[in-house]
Amino acid sequence: MLLKSCRSITNVSFPFVVCLALTACAGGYDTSKVNGAAQEIAEQSREKKALQIEALRAVPKRQSQDPIYVSLVPPILDSKTQQAKGAVAQQIRKELTSDPIIKLVDDNQEVAGLMNLSVAMPIPDVEVSSKVSIKEVLGVNRKTGKRGNMVAIVFEAIITSQFPPASYTVTESGHVLHNVEVSKRFARQVKQVIVEKIGPDIPAH
């Protein structure tokens, strides 16, 4: 649409009229094109995931007795458990190393590999990140059966499989005075996830 605007400008010696032509166009967006592009991207993403799943299925899997290499991240401790940092980390490590399938890949092994370049360092299949805290929670006294507040130690872990990508969360808690027993139950849960849920899908080394 063409719009004309005329303005009278008076000069001392040359009075004249100037007309300005303004062109207006309709604004807005073609939403059909935007939606179509989004649908195309989503479809490509679905196809990519489907191809990845098919590729994973085709990869030979580890045998049931083959080792699973695990990277154990030092646990994060709250202020109340900082003093027991070494003991807590050692308890978790002890429980995991007692399993014949799980092989820990720690910093010491990585340093050894750097010093001896002829040694091929295993790449971790799984990473375990844990957190330990002490909290006051509502519990039940096993002797009296009565409910009441108690000081509990809480173990939490995020277990991440590198290939195929997967993540699991494990929690375990109990009376702080029974921390060794609680840590054992916690480690058993972690081992169960690694060996039974993640292990069967890990590719053969």
Residues 54 and 80 in one domain: no
Residues 17 and 93 in one domain: no
pLDDT at 109 over 60: no
Helix (H, G, I), strand (E, B) or coil at 115: helix
Question: Is residue 63 one of the residues assigned to a domain?
Answer: no
The last residue of one of the domains, among 39, 58, 77, is 58
Residues 54 and 77 in one domain: no
Question: Is residue 141 one of the residues assigned to a domain?
Answer: yes
Residues 35 and 122 in one domain: no
Helix (H, G, I), strand (E, B) or coil at 106: coil
Q: Give residue 111's pLDDT.
A: 39
Residues 27 and 75 in one domain: no
User: Domain span at residue 14?
Assistant: 2-58
Q: Looking at the 3D structure of the chain, how many domains does it have?
A: 2
Residues 79 and 177 in one domain: yes
| pLDDT (tens digit per residue) in 11-34 | 444 444 444 444 444 455 556 666
The number of helix segments (H) and strand segments (E) in the chain equals 4, 8
Question: Is residue 193 one of the residues assigned to a domain?
Answer: yes
Measure Cα distances from 130 to 45, 142, 198 in Å: 32, 28, 17
Q: How far apart are CA 76 and CA 63, in angstroms?
A: 33
| pLDDT (tens digit per residue) in 69-81 | 999 998 888 887 8
Q: Give residue 126's pLDDT.
A: 95
Q: 0.85 cut: is pTM over it?
A: no
Burial class from Cβ neighbours inside 10 Å (0-12, 13-18, 19+) for residue 190 reads buried
